Amino acid sequence: MKALQNIALSMLDLVAVREGGTVADALAISLRTAQHAERLGFARYWLAEHHNMPGIASSATAVLIGYIAAGTHTLRVGSGGVMLPNHAPLVVAEAFGTLAELYPGRIDLGLGRAPGTDQTTMRALRRERTETADDFPQDVAELQRLLAPAQPGQRLIAMPGAGTNVPIWLLGSSLFSARLAAERGLPYAFASHFAPRFLLQALSVYRQNFRPSATLAQPYAVVAVPLIAAPTDEEAEYLASSTYQRVLGILRGDRRGLQPPIENFAAQLQPQERAAIDDFLAAGVIGGPDTVRQGLSALAQATDADEFMLVCDVFDPALRLRSMDIAAAARTS
């Protein structure tokens, strides 16, 4: 099992629009957060594709990746993920091929199998196209071909894209993508920041079935971790009430902006509401420095992850950066 200090740290950003703030504010906060992650030595900074959600501003994921990459220097920047059922593989290959030419060696292409939105919005994105999540393995294979060096006689060439070999990651919250990532010899990231139930089972399936490839000689697993850190457990719990409100909103279908924290919010919840939030955030680490170190260490022991990808929804952007500081310190202490 890996010790915590041997696990890389990264960041997944949903680009939350805060209550009282604007989309422009959210984008600027994301850039500052990515710059801070780079200063802390984080491995990568990913942005998640979502649509038709008033509180999330990361729908144009490739555009945002370019924005973050332009404002940083060494940090890998990518998608966590592009929801492939929404896009033709050629369009994705050209977008990420362009990014790879602009920022060589720094772009990741994480792919998700779900649409990342509701059925009405998915139809609006795809129009007359009829592909579904069931086409995901074929779409991944097509993307791999389009990003590889063009072969003699190849009629469909992504330009830009061909020969960039943008690293492809598979993302998932079930066993399907774990099996596919293992079969293709690709790195795998589990979405335990919102669906932790199958985390350990998916990692086991991935590692047991992994086939080495030209891309990857051995399994590489990323675990997404909801993280709220503060100088004390009590303050962290207070700050986490913004995340609790967001989760409750998701469960109720109420997609508003990220809300400011509320004192004793958890105590005001019905038992079933608290249980639902606890289930959603079962992989979360919330607390002061000692609690964070113990929580991340326990997760490292349980998962043997190669990398933790932190999801840190703190309302105050400065306190979000402080959470990242505490996590980075926990890893080195």
CATH number of the domain where residue 20 is located? 3.20.20.30
- Encode pLDDT of 137-159 as tens digits: 999 999 999 999 999 999 999 99
Mean pLDDT of the chain: 93
Q: Residue 50: its pLDDT value, please? A: 87
CA distances (Å), origin 186, targets 54, 107, 174, 323: 33, 15, 16, 30
Strand locations in the chain (E): 8-13, 44-47, 76-83, 107-112, 168-172, 188-190, 221-229, 285-287, 307-311
Over residues 48-76, the mean pLDDT reads 94
Categorize the per-residue pLDDT at 62 as very low, low, confident or very high, splitting at 50, 70 and 90. Answer: very high
- Encode pLDDT of 205-234 as tens digits: 999 999 999 999 999 999 999 999 999 999
| % of the chain residues with pLDDT over 70 | 94
Angstrom distance (rounded) from CA 43 to CA 308: 10
Q: Domain count of the chain?
A: 1
| Alpha carbons within 13 A on the beta-carbon side of 61 | 31
Range of the domain at 219: 4-332
Categorize the per-residue pLDDT at 250 as very low, low, confident or very high, splitting at 50, 70 and 90. Answer: confident
Angstrom distance (rounded) from CA 20 to CA 315: 11
- Encode pLDDT of 271-324 as tens digits: 999 999 999 999 999 999 999 999 999 999 999 999 999 999 999 999 999 999
**Residues facing 228 on adjacent strands:** 286
Above 70 in pLDDT, residue 26?
yes
pTM: 0.94
Q: Residue 303: its pLDDT value, please? A: 97
Cβ-contact 82, 169 below 8 angstroms: no
Over residues 54-75, the mean pLDDT reads 96
Categorize the per-residue pLDDT at 125 as very low, low, confident or very high, splitting at 50, 70 and 90. Answer: low
Categorize the per-residue pLDDT at 28 as very low, low, confident or very high, splitting at 50, 70 and 90. Answer: very high
Over residues 238-256, the mean pLDDT reads 91
